[in-house]
Chains A and B, each alone.
Chain A
Amino acid sequence: MGDIIRVTIQRKDSRNVPVSYSRTYEVETRGEMTVLEVLQEIYCRLDPSIAYRRYRCGRRLCRSCEVKLDGKIVRGCATLLHPGGAYLLEPARTDSLIRDLVFDFHSHSG
């Protein structure tokens, strides 16, 4: 009851602005949630200005949802966050950042 997943997100309005900032969100949950579910919850209930890629291929293949979780690059669709935990989310790549957690794949071949 009343379990919380606490997520701090490293945010930036675009690649061209110098300022980045972080925001911390508390997501209520009844159990484990994937990173992607947590982001969806934040977008729908807490902060509509957050940008992340929502696509999910359903087989953990496409890497569209890749983010850096506590310093390690993971796939958001298949990485579980636990109630009571506090996590840091950052964009998986910053050199081609578009906004917040969204980056441009096109300038990379990988």
Chain B
Amino acid sequence: MILDIYFPDEDRGTSVAEVYLEQTDVLIVGGGGAGMRAAIEAAAHGCRVIVANKGPVGRSGTTPMAMEAFQAVCSPGDSENLHFRDTVEGGRYLGDENLISFLVRDAAKRAEELETFGVQFKRKPDGAFDPMHHPGQSFPRALFIQGGGFAMLAGLIRQARKHSGIQILDDVLVMKLILDRAGKTSGAIYLDLKEGRWKAIQSKAVVLATGGYEELWAFNDASWTACGDGVFLAYEAGAQLVDLEMLQYYPTVVIHPPSIQGTLFQYELITHPEILGGRLLNGRMEPFFEGILLRDAIVRAIWKEILEGRGSPHGGVFIDLVHSSKDREDLTKALEKWQPNQFHYLKDMGFDLREVLVEVTPHAHYTLGGVAIDEKARTTVPGLFAAGEVAGNLHGANRVSGNALAETQVFGAIAGASAANLAEKRKFEKLSGIRLEMNVAENLVKGWQGRGNIRPHRVRERLQKIMWQKCGVERDDQGLRQGREELETLEREALPNLSVTDIGRGISYGAYPQEIQEALEVRMMISLGRLVLSSALFRKETLGHHIRTDYPSPWREPKHTFLSKEKGPWAGEVKRERTGPWET
């Protein structure tokens, strides 16, 4: 499977004599929930698959951090129609209804299939699913995965390892997609972090499953890895992006102290009178909202407290389980049952939720926008597919709890099948762009080696601060324009002067060139940040999580914000008609 190919006709002006090139039918970028599900599907179609993951698979990315909820219809009286309606309304009518129809059609099937992969869901004594009832669901529909996203992904990885046709590459930063002369996606250039070397993969189809770009914002509950790699790769390849400004905040993420900052504690459980029986309190120890609110509404309520000077000492609000309506024994049982990992983690770090209040504030949680796809998970670039959070038009302006993990499985499977169908029809042809792209990558890094004086982590922090301050929970024209200018300055002045430390010799940067990885990520993040700001400027309305203080009302009709490399932002119709076999 490994080919060391020498291209004598292309060997001009390069520092490497050989290009390390592998061939595979389907290349999947990202080994989280969507990527692994796509791999299993493509392999089941008989394809050879390479999964390229930026960290160790199962121990990086967003899926291992996901909560327990997987939304699928399972109760008597509930229906796919209701799941559909809840998702459309929850997304403030900005979600692509064709995509949503596929989500609700396949979600339950994919949950049951996960069980055959060894993933366990909470079930009642009679064997039926035991779902939670999350805000925005007209019936209890949040199937509870034992062990959360981490356990779900572990099951998928075990299943993927049963297929001999699936090869998993850990520690791989994909730098650029390669298109053939006809414009079809034909593989990628990547930095193998284990060896510190540039390598290439030629493939007949590529699936992007890289997750979101929450790491652009100073306060996020996603990981170090969530830089929007796939969105950037798709943009560079010419794909249409959609609704990049739509960032979902999670209302209750620990803000202080720094050692546990970013730990998410589910407000759906805290405020549920029958589950944890707790409250959220402002800095004056007063409750500040009533009833059960959707995520966008509760974020706005918390933000109002903070802005109007009623926040907690570190700029948030308090989770209060100390005064839970449950007695200590029942509360302990409920915490053990519903949030055991977070409960014990925080307790061992000195924050026993039964005894102390913990400060939380809204954090960037899920990027609703991303790469535009259709019901076959096709992007607008031939041969390029996208599934999971990297895709941008499924949820709309807000996401209902549990639809993210369901999305990874439904659209992961669809993308895997679509990629396999294309791969079956396509042959490998000689690619001419590999050497050129590799030179570009090498020269980019060479420009940083030994010359610059700005550490990439400084630029990353600066970018995150700009995005949080100018394109955070509340936005306006002036701030967004300032943010865009500041990012342009960063791109112009800081990016060419990055310093990178490496220990390499010859064609290798040395094993695990951590700072080179960070510099490459920062470059992507600045570029993506500018696109997010342009999109946020363009959407002159308040809808869902996009709050424009200068345009407080929604447009009469929801529209997508599209953009591509060729064209600036433009408004596009939200798809309402359903092309799939599913009928209401």
Contacts and interface: CB of A to CB of B under 8 A. Distances in A.
A13 B150 CA distance: 31
A43 B56 CA distance: 20
B259 A80 contact: yes
A89 interface: no
A99 B510 contact: yes
A78 interface: yes
A51 B514 contact: yes
Contact of B512 (A51, A61, A64, A78): A51
Taking chain B's interface residues, is the majority helix, strand, or loop, or is none over half, making it mixed?
Answer: loop
B323 interface: no
A59 interface: yes
B348 A78 contact: yes
Taking chain A's interface residues, is the majority helix, strand, or loop, or is none over half, making it mixed?
Answer: loop
A36 to B, nearest CB: 8
Interface string B18-44: 000000000000000000000000000
A52 to B, nearest CB: 8
A27 B344 CA distance: 28
A4 to B, nearest CB: 18
Contacts of B194: 98, 104
B345 interface: yes
Contacts of A55: 55, 59-60, 223-225
B510 A58 contact: no
B1 interface: no
Given A62-B64, A104-B170, A105-B59, A13 B345 contact: no
A5 interface: no
Contacts, number: 103
Interface string B333-355: 00000000110110011000000
Interface string A11-51: 00111000000000000000011100100000110001111
B345 A59 contact: yes
Interface string B44-80: 0000000000011111100011000000000000000
A58 B170 contact: no
A102 interface: yes
Nearest to A31: B257
Interface in B298-354: 341-342, 344-345, 348-349
A63 B56 CA distance: 10
Interface in B184-241: 193-194, 221, 223-225
A50 B518 CA distance: 13
Nearest to B501: A48
B457 interface: yes
B514 A61 contact: no
Interface bin, chain A: 35 or more
B65 A64 contact: no
A53 interface: yes
Interface string B138-160: 00000000011010000000000
A54 B344 CA distance: 22
Contact of B171 (A44, A56, A63, A98): A98
B515 interface: yes
A64 B262 CA distance: 17
A72 interface: no
B263 interface: yes
B8 interface: no
A13 B511 contact: yes
A55 B58 CA distance: 11
A73 interface: no
B58 A56 contact: no
A106 B56 contact: yes
Contact of B58 (A15, A33, A62): A62
Contacts of A50: 514
A61 B63 CA distance: 12
A59 B510 contact: no
Nearest to A44: B457
Given A33-B259, A49-B501, A60 B455 contact: no
B258 interface: yes
B410 interface: no
A49 B264 CA distance: 31
A64 B65 CA distance: 12
Given A34-B259, A64-B59, A105-B56, A14 B510 contact: yes
Greatest chain A CB density within 10 A among B56, B60, B223, B499 is at B56
B59 A44 contact: no
Contacts of A43: 457, 514
B168 interface: yes
A57 B511 CA distance: 24
A80 to B, nearest CB: 7
29 contacts: A13-B503, A15-B511, A32-B259, A37-B258, A43-B514, A44-B457, A48-B455, A48-B499, A53-B56, A54-B224, A55-B55, A55-B59, A55-B223, A57-B64, A57-B65, A58-B65, A58-B264, A58-B345, A59-B263, A60-B345, A62-B64, A64-B59, A80-B349, A98-B193, A98-B512, A104-B56, A104-B194, A105-B56, A105-B170
Interface of A: 13-15, 32-34, 37, 43-44, 48-64, 78, 80, 98-100, 102, 104-106
Interface of B: 55-60, 64-65, 147-148, 150, 168, 170-171, 193-194, 221, 223-225, 258-259, 262-264, 341-342, 344-345, 348-349, 455, 457, 499, 501, 503, 510-512, 514-515
Given A13-B510, A78-B349, 9 more contacts: A56-B223, A57-B65, A62-B58, A62-B59, A62-B60, A62-B64, A63-B59, A98-B512, A105-B58
The 9 closest A-B pairs by CB, nearest first: A105-B56, A64-B59, A99-B511, A48-B501, A59-B341, A14-B511, A99-B512, A62-B59, A51-B512
